[in-house]
A and B are shown apart, each in its own frame.
Chain A
Amino acid sequence: MTTDQQTRATVWPDQIYEVLKDAGVTQVAYVPDAGHAKLINRCHADKAMHAVSLTTEEEGVAMLAGAWMGGAKGVLLMQSSGVGNCINMLSIYEECRLPLLMIVTMRGVWGEFNPWQVAMGGSTAAALENAGVIVHSVDRAEDVKETVHACTALAFNTQRPVAVLIQQRVIGFKNWSK
């Protein structure tokens, strides 16, 4: 990797944080994922944001519906395995036409070690689309900022659920040797 590539590989979580901040996001609901660790830490450090750890991802879907009803913008962070936990709760967004910004770090699709991640990773995009969510995927670190920015605008300006899938190629290999 060149220095430029290394920089791009590590700054995208900070760039997402800046995009969320600029958009006025104040509620960050998440189930932890290693790919989101840096972003989660930044959101917790921000006194103007409520970073809420969930027991399951569907809690965040319901929570952010309440947030929008109350005039607040939120984001839901999870890994691809969590998408399957959200499906029925997403029906609130279809029926009430609410905005939702989901940022999903992918597993099970590129350089994966754990075979148990493959099933949900392979059906993440289709499951979201079937539930009425607009899906955009990013597989290069240098595209993360622009895509998250565009999807944030799309979600909140048009009041629709939108998911950004951060592909595993952006996140890098998980080290299983330590």
Chain B
Amino acid sequence: MAAKKPSGLDRRKVVAALLADRGDALVVTGLGSPTYDTFAAGDHDLNFYLWGGMGGAAMAGLGLALAQPKRRVLVITGDGEMLMGLGALATIACEAPKNLAIAVIDNGHYGETGMQRAHTARGVDLAGIAKASGFKSAATLQSMASLQSWLPEWNKKAGPVFADIKVSAEPAPMRLPLRDGTAIKYRFRTALLGADAQK
């Protein structure tokens, strides 16, 4: 398997574009840089920042999407995190939630642990796996132009929607959101459910 040439997209610009028209969407972020990127794009009460539970972001998105079928649920995660929970792509495709979209911010590396190469830098095609699993929409995006033209799918298209977005492995400036999980939970549930959050 030949290594793919990295596209060099700026991950912060990519995530900012993903969230520019979020409306009332609910956002789940995979641990590590996607959590920081999402915070850097603007803190929001309806961000469920995961700092752990590696491999679980997409499935947390599924549970949220089934619980809130009228809201768009956007999962923003990393390639290593997605690879750890690949079975989730099969499960999500089988459930076919119309309101769920998953974007992998794919730098081809494990950025938190010393920049070891990930399988996505060695030829593994996440969009191909999503498509073969039965996702309604699955794309690999390598340029800001292709990202911009895909954004209507991300924000509106009946899902499940998936994209593997190739970004630079250059680290972005450190931006760390709230990390107390219980505080994140109460903030999110109160914003979403109001007084029912306390029931």
A74 and B87 contact, CB distance less than 8 A: no
Q: How far does the alpha carbon of A26 sit from the alpha carbon of B184 in the complex, in Å?
A: 23
Other-chain contact of B189, A26, A60, A69 (Cβ < 8 Å):
A69
Interface centre among B28, B64, B65 (most CB of A within 10 A): B64
User: How many CB-defined contacts (below 8 Å) exist between A and B?
Assistant: 122
B90 and A71 contact, CB distance less than 8 A: no
Instruction: Identify the stretch in A50-58, A120-128, A132-140, A141-149 within 8 Å (CB) of chain B at 4 or more residues.
Output: A50-58
Closest to B183 in A: A96
B185 and A96 contact, CB distance less than 8 A: yes
Chain A CB within 8 A of B182 CB: yes
Would A70 and B63 be within 8 Å (CB), given that A50-B95, A52-B95 are in contact? yes
Chain A CB within 8 A of B66 CB: yes
Closest to A55 in B: B87
Give A32-52 as 1s and 0s: 1 = Cβ < 8 Å from B's Cβ atoms. 000000000000000000101
B interface: dominant SS = helix
Q: How far does the alpha carbon of A95 sit from the alpha carbon of B31 in the complex, in Å?
A: 14
Give B33-60 as 1s and 0s: 1 = Cβ < 8 Å from A's Cβ atoms. 0000000000000001011111111111
Chain A CB within 8 A of B111 CB: no
B181 and A66 contact, CB distance less than 8 A: no
Chain A CB within 8 A of B121 CB: no
Smallest beta-carbon distance A86→chain B, Å: 10
Chain A CB within 8 A of B1 CB: no
Q: How far does the alpha carbon of A177 sit from the alpha carbon of B58 in the complex, in Å?
A: 41
B55 and A62 contact, CB distance less than 8 A: yes
Count of interface residues, chain B, beta-carbon cutoff 8 Å: 39
Would A62 and B57 be within 8 Å (CB), given that A70-B68, A96-B182 are in contact? yes
Chain A CB within 8 A of B196 CB: yes
B61 and A66 contact, CB distance less than 8 A: yes
Smallest beta-carbon distance B83→chain A, Å: 14
A54 and B53 contact, CB distance less than 8 A: no
B88 and A59 contact, CB distance less than 8 A: yes
Q: How far does the alpha carbon of A74 sit from the alpha carbon of B196 in the complex, in Å?
A: 17
Interface centre among B60, B94, B95 (most CB of A within 10 A): B60
Smallest beta-carbon distance A48→chain B, Å: 12
Chain B CB within 8 A of A88 CB: yes
Tell me the chain A residues, 1-58 only, with Cβ under 8 Å from chain B. Answer: 26-27, 29, 50, 52-56, 58
B residues near A61, Cβ cutoff 8 Å: 53, 56
Tell me the chain B residues, 63-82 only, with Cβ under 8 Å from chain A. Answer: 63-68
Would A65 and B63 be within 8 Å (CB), given that A52-B95, A55-B90, A71-B196 are in contact? yes
A62 and B181 contact, CB distance less than 8 A: no
Chain B CB within 8 A of A158 CB: no
Tell me the chain A residues, 67-94 only, with Cβ under 8 Å from chain B. Answer: 67-72, 74, 88-89, 91-92
A residues near B185, Cβ cutoff 8 Å: 69, 96-98
A residues near B102, Cβ cutoff 8 Å: none
B91 and A65 contact, CB distance less than 8 A: no
List 8 contacting pairs A-B, 8 Å CB cutoff, sorted by A.
A52-B95, A59-B59, A65-B63, A66-B63, A71-B197, A88-B52, A89-B55, A95-B181
Q: A59-B56, A66-B28, A70-B63 are in contact. List 9 more A-B contacts (CB 8 A).
A: A58-B55, A62-B60, A65-B63, A66-B48, A66-B61, A69-B48, A69-B192, A70-B66, A89-B53
- Spell out A's residues near B (CB within 8 Å): 26-27, 29, 50, 52-56, 58-72, 74, 88-89, 91-92, 95-98
